[in-house]
Amino acid sequence: MATTLTDSQKPFSLDPYHVSDVFGFILPAPLTELPPYYQPWMDIAQHVTELIYSHTLRSHILKMPLLNTRFLESHRELRLAHLALSVMTMGYVWQEGENDTVKILPRNLAVPYWKVSQRLGLPPILTHADAVLANWKKRDPHGPFDMENLELLVTLPGGDSVRGFFMVTLLVELAAVPAIKSIPLVINGVQCGDAETVTRALEEISQAMEGMTDALKLMHAYVKPDVFYGIIRIYLSGWKDNSSMPAGLVYEGIQAEPMEYSGGSAAQSSLLHCFDELLGVKHEENCGAFLTRMRNYMPSSHKHLIQDISLQPSLRGFVQQEASELLTAAFQLCVTKLMALRSYHINVVSCFITIPAARARQLRRQGNSSQEETVSRAPTALEETGTGGSGIMSFLKTVRDRTRDVSLLIPLLQIPYGLGRGEGREPCVLSKTTQPSRTAS
C-alpha cells in the first residue's frame, strides 16, 4: 500500500543538480559571445578549422595574450570560455597529426584553461559537456530543435560530418529528457510504496530510451564514416592511454610534470550512468572503473546526481517485493530498451570505427601511403580503442551484457541485440557518396 513521505524523507528532486525540465543535461541557451576583453580567445576559437588547415593555429595561439579569468562571472560565460579554450587546445595538440604532437601547452592557453576548468569542476580537455551540451544554437530562435535548425558555436575539422556528429549526439540527449524527468517519480514512488506511479514512470523511461535509439540512427544520415574515422577522431583524442602522447601534456604555468586526460567518450554523458544506477546495473571491474573515471569529465552537479541516485532504495528490489505483473513488465521493458540502445551503439561504433580501421590497415598492408582515401589519414594509435582510451568493442559488449543481468524475466528478454553481428544494421559507406538528408522529429 502506498504511503506518504515523512518530514525526514524529502522528495527526491532534480532541482539541486542543474537539470532542465526542457533540455535535461543540455545547457539551455548557451552564450555565443564572451565579454569584449576575451575577444582574442573567440577570434581564434571561431576559426580553429581554417587555422589548422593552414598550419598556423599554433603560431596564432603563441601570440595570444595571457588573459585574466576573473572577469568571467556567470556559469554560461565559464562554459563558453571552456569550450573555446578546449577547441583551441585540441587543435594546438593535433594540428600536425599523431607524428608531430607537442609536449607543452603554452602558458597563455594553459593557465586560463586550468583556472576556468577548476571553477567548473571540469578537466582541461574537450569533453562531452563542451562539444555537445554547450556547443549549439538555433539558426531561427523561434524554430524547432532539429537538425535543420541547429548549428555549432565552434567546430573542428570534418565539415558537415563534425556538425552532424555533435548535433545528432545532442538530439540523443534531448530525446532522453522525459526519462530524466521521470527518475524522481520512480525514486519517490519506491519510497512511498506506490507501485502504480513507479510503473507509469518506468513506461515513460522506456519510451524515451526508444527515442534515444531513434535519434542515434540519424548518425548514418549526417556523418560519413570515413570522415569521422580519418579526420574528426584525432581531434577528440586525449593524452591518456594514447601511444602518440605516452607522457601526457605539460600545462605550462600550472606544474612542471605532464598531466594525462582522456579524450571524448560517450561514457562522459550522464544519461546511461543515471539509468544504470536506477535499474541497478553492476558493471565488470575494469569497465566499471573506466565508467567511474568518466564521471570526472562531467559537470559536477550531474556527477552528484548520478551518485545520489545510487544511494536510493533499490528499484529492482522494490519490483521483486511488489510482485506486480504490470510493474515487473515495465521494469523489464526498461532493461530491454537500454540493451537495445547499447546494441545500436555497438552498431554505430562498428560502422564508424571498426570497419574504417580495417580498411586503413588494408591500405597500409598494400603499401598505399597516399591520402586518396580519407581513412588513410587516421592515427594508428587509436585503432583498437575509443578516444576516451577504452578497448572499445570488448568494453561496449561487456557493458551491454551486464545490463542483461538485472533482468527479472529472462525468457522475455530474447530480443535481437546482436546488431554488431549484422542484424538490424544501417549501411556503412566509406566512399564519397552523398548522405541522404533527414530531419529529426
Q: Is residue 261 a contact partner of residue 123, using CB atoms and an 8 Å limit?
A: yes
Question: What pLDDT is recorded for position 108?
Answer: 98
pLDDT in the model for residue 386: 56
Given this model, what pLDDT does residue 5 score? 60
Q: Which stretches of the chain drop beneath a pLDDT of 70? A: 1-9, 368-372, 381-390, 410-441
Give 87's Cβ-side CA count (13 Å radius): 31
Torsion on CA atoms 225, 157, 117, 261, rounded to nearest 10? 50
Per-residue pLDDT, 384:
59
The pLDDT value recorded for residue 245 is 93
Task: Quote the CA–CA distance of 107 and 103 in Å, as a whole number.
Answer: 13
pTM over 0.75? The answer is yes
- Does the annotation list 142 as a binding residue? no
**pLDDT given for residue 439 in this prediction:** 36
* 44's grid cell: 581564434
Q: pLDDT at position 427, please? A: 54
Tell me what pLDDT residue 412 has. 41
Termini Cα distance of the chain: 40
